[in-house]
Structure 1
Amino acid sequence: MTIDEIISFVEDLDGVLAVRPGPDDGSPEISWGDTFLYYAPDGAMPKATQPFATIVTKNYPGDERSRLDRPDTFRVNIAAGKDSFVDSTGHAPREPAPDDDLGVTDAVLAHPVYGSVGWLAVVNPGRRTDGAVCELLRKAHHLARSRHERRAGSTTS
């Protein structure tokens, strides 16, 4: 899967806002070229909500283990929930072990930094993981939509 294919897939889900920071929007330079995917049915950037998925194209400080500095390498990060994390990794959410190879491509792994809170990551999704990535993105979207609906319901009661 390419970055554009992933973004297109997610944008076809209801209420998705894809944010692509760039030099003219006031975002930090390190985020330029990356994509942040939110559930935002009104189309406005959520104020106090994390994205349900991201696509990063470079190493961030403290997050070099995926080796995104290789040519044509990116990582999709997905907050698909604890059950999906366990189903995908075979263990409860945790940070990857120091000797885990997080640069392996086309494999569903614990996120190098946010694995302890249940985020999953795939470097260069391909034939082996494209179906799993789509299903995980659907689940993450569903969880984000459910959180949004709970919050909206609590503000009207």
Structure 2
Amino acid sequence: MSQTKWIGTDTVHSHITTQLEGVIPKDAWGETSYFYNPGRVFDRGTYFATIKEKNGDNDKASGLDRDGVWRLNMGVSKGAYFELFGPPPPRPGKGGIVDGDWDFTALDTLTPHPIYGWMSWVAVLNPSLATWATCQELLADAHGRAKVTFEKRVKQKR
């Protein structure tokens, strides 16, 4: 019988902050948010990933109130999103979740983000070692997308 090897939040945090350049982490609202912001040009920079460890007021779809359950969220490019899920779902109504047949409570399963899937955000609860390899590719994509957006913002600021 094989045992699943799980990745913890420390591994994800370490990867994002040491393997991806120009990243600034910020802790707030039960999550750690990651911004591309080399040189701290902006107050926050460009948002591209989060680690969420508890339910929020408007985000209970993943059941993060379960012991040890956490979610990695990544703002990937439209192309990466489309390859995984096809076209993004419509924006949900206030307080709602995106429409689709995804189980947002399933561990180790890539899904659209329950609220921000319409903006090409993807999510995974408690990724396994096997899923982590895909997550690293998606984090690189999200980081690249953030870098492009950041550079546009820098040009506008001048």
Partner of 1:88: 84
Distance 1:39 1:48, change over 3 A: closer
1:4 aligns with 2:1: no
> In the aligned structure 2, how far is the partner of 1:3 from the partner of 1:117?
24
In the aligned structure 2, how far is the partner of 1:97 from the partner of 1:151? 32
* CA 1:62–1:155: 2 relative to 1, 3 Å: closer
Unaligned runs of 5+ in 2: 1-6, 91-97
Q: Which has the higher contact order (CA 8 A, sep 6+)?
A: 2
Question: What's 1:25 paired with?
Answer: none
Q: How does 1:125-144 map to 2 (within 5 A)?
A: 125-144=127-146
> Take 2:116 and 2:140, find their aligned partners in 1: how far apart are those partners?
19
Corresponding residue of 2:93: none
* Count of aligned residue pairs for this structure pair: 144
Q: Which runs of 4+ in 1 moved over 4 A?
A: none
TM-score (norm 1): 0.83
Aligned-pair identity (%): 31
Is the alpha carbon distance of 1:71 and 1:111 closer, same or farther for their aligned partners in structure 2, counting shifts above 3 Å? same
Structure 1: any 5+ residue segments left out of the alignment? 22-30
Aligned with 2:137: secondary structure?
A: helix
Question: Once superposed, what is the RMSD of the aligned Cα atoms?
Answer: 1.8
Alignment partner of 1:149: what SS?
helix
Q: What is the rounded CA distance, in whole Å, between the counterparts of 1:139 and 1:69 in structure 2?
A: 29
Instruction: Pick the structure with more strand per residue.
Output: 2
Deviation at 1:128, TM superposition (A): 3.4
Measured after TM superposition, the shift of residue 151 of structure 1 is: 1.9
Contact 2:74-2:122 within 8 A present in 1 as well: yes
